[in-house]
């Protein structure tokens, strides 16, 4: 009976080693080369916002209005997700933020255009007094 957990561990280890040995082309085939589960855009820009007054309904409405207005003005955006914490309770989950924004782009150059876009600058200017903290995670698809 003790050998089953060890067997499972070795199967997982060997499976991971096989993926590593196959190289990044396999990862690309699983991720961005035609998989129905891939997210469009090779550059992901994920932003988390902590509001100063999260219980203030008018401030939340102002934030969301300005956010959606600016996003609709930027043509280099491939995809958008705006969300709130799901309320899941696991040790590794951070539910302390109030809103998250995931924006995808074809490449880093388009994301750079987004950063310099007048609508983005206006959004920051018009809403920065509403948040106390912002964290950004940028990533490139494998």
Same structural domain for residues 83 and 116? yes
The C-alpha atoms of residue 76 and residue 112 are separated, in whole angstroms, by 10
Same structural domain for residues 5 and 74? no
Same structural domain for residues 47 and 15? no
For residue 10, what pLDDT is reported? 45
Same structural domain for residues 121 and 79? yes
The domain that contains 88 carries what CATH number?
A: 3.30.70.100
For residue 22, what pLDDT is reported? 43
For residue 34, what pLDDT is reported? 54
Same structural domain for residues 117 and 61? yes
- Give the chain's residues under pLDDT 70: 1-36
Same structural domain for residues 83 and 127? yes
For residue 39, what pLDDT is reported? 87
Residue 122's domain comprises: 43-140
Count of structural domains within the chain: 2
Q: Are 73 and 119 in contact (CB under 8 A)?
A: yes
* pTM tops 0.85, yes or no: no
Same structural domain for residues 55 and 115? yes
Same structural domain for residues 88 and 28? no
Same structural domain for residues 136 and 81? yes
């Amino acid at each position: 009976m003790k050998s089953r957990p060890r067997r499972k561990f070795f199967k997982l280890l060997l499976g991971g080693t096989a993926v590593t040995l196959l190289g990044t082309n396999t990862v690309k085939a699983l991720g961005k080369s035609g998989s129905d589960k891939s997210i469009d855009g090779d550059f992901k820009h994920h932003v988390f916002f902590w509001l100063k007054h999260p219980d203030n309904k008018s401030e939340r409405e102002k934030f969301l209005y300005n956010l959606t207005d600016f996003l609709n003005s930027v043509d280099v955006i491939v995809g958008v997700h705006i969300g709130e914490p799901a309320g899941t309770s696991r040790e590794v989950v951070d539910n302390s933020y109030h809103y998250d924004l995931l924006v995808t782009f074809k490449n880093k150059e388009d994301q750079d255009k987004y950063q310099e876009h007048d609508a983005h600058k206006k959004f920051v200017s018009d809403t920065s007094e509403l948040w106390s903290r912002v964290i950004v995670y940028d990533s490139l698809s494998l």
